Amino acid sequence: MLRPLQPLMAPSQSGFGARLQSGLTSQEPANEAQTPLVTSEELKLLKEWPVENLTDILNLPDAALDTTADDYLAFHEQAGRMFETIVPLMKDNAATIRFGVGGASWDIGIPFDLDRAALNNRWRYERPIACWVRKHAQEIEAIAKLGRPYALASASLDVQTMSGVTREEAVETGCYASYLRQIYLRAFNLFGINPLPVEELGINGIDPWMQIVASPAIDPTRCTGQQLQRWAKTQFFTLHIPFECYSILAGLPNSLSIAERMQMCEWRVILEKELSQVWLQGNDSEWLEATLNCLLDPANASASAS
């Protein structure tokens, strides 16, 4: 049987595990039947990232590892072949691409700067990758979906082991939001081709719960950094905004500290301040103006989307 790609951490009574344990009160022993109902948080995540038999996987993760292992192997093989086709686009080691159970993601190893010359340099590396991933989005999702059940089962087992709490107990005690968030955070970042190092999970990890559950109706002018990045990617993939505007919006949170971009940010105000600085310096403001317009009215940007 396949086992998790990273070693299980020992049960802990501090941090995340302690917070969950503090929600457990002295109750009658739980019924042997597992909690079958899909929670509202799970429904939101399922709508974005479909998974068959999600509650069975999360209720009995150890058993699910056996039944989903073959599909995970198929995912790994197919993702590896697709990854090989995109490697030539990774020029000068300036980009890092990850293929996980949530799809393909990438990081550009060039500090984000709104100076036009810096943007042009960044776009040399990012444009071919972003456009390639958009072109193959349906195929990427079909492959990612194969590995999702196993990754969620393994991540669920990790969280259960770390916290000493089952899904049923977390639901019953009102601790399930944190519990589910940790499962998806681990599943979407620590499995697949070129996974994120576990020590970077809380800093650079894709956070599906924060992107979808925390605020499903995203106002791009006022949201967290991850929500803005998710919104921009969706707009770019659906041809509503051009690549240049997507890249600026996706990179903008990286100009803030980690603590700042985890909070609700006024992105319109931030862009307007940057635009004022560019005007004062007499520099080219074309794409900053276009990005501000995309943020306020993406429908009018669709004609120029590439």
Return per-residue pLDDT of the chain as tens, 306 residues.
444 444 333 333 345 555 555 544 434 444 444 555 789 899 999 999 999 999 999 999 999 999 999 999 999 999 999 999 998 888 888 899 999 999 999 999 888 999 889 999 999 999 999 999 999 999 999 999 999 999 999 999 999 999 999 999 999 999 999 999 999 999 999 999 999 999 999 888 999 988 887 666 789 999 999 999 999 999 999 999 999 999 999 999 999 998 999 899 999 999 999 999 888 776 678 899 999 999 988 766 554 444
Q: What angle do CA 90, 109, 263 make, to 5 degrees?
A: 130
Three-state SS for 292?
Answer: helix
* Unique residue bearing structure tokens 């900053």: 288
Contact status, residue 35 vs residue 169, Cβ threshold 8 Å: no
State residue 3's pLDDT score. Answer: 43
Q: Are the beta carbons of 26 and 122 closer than 8 angstroms?
A: no
- pTM of the model as a whole: 0.83
Distance in angstroms (rounded) separating the CA atoms of residues 53 and 32: 19
The answer to whether 191 and 100 have CB atoms below 8 angstroms apart is yes
Q: Give the pLDDT confidence score for residue 30 in this predicted structure.
A: 42
Query: Would you kindly state where each structural domain of the chain is located, as residue ranges?
Result: 1-22+33-205, 215-306
Phi first, then psi: give them for residue 105, nearest 5 degrees. Answer: -140, 165
Nearest to 192 by CA among 179, 205, 211, 203: 205
Q: Are 23 and 148 in contact (CB under 8 A)?
A: no
Instruction: Say how far apart CA 20 and CA 10 lie, in whole Å.
Output: 15
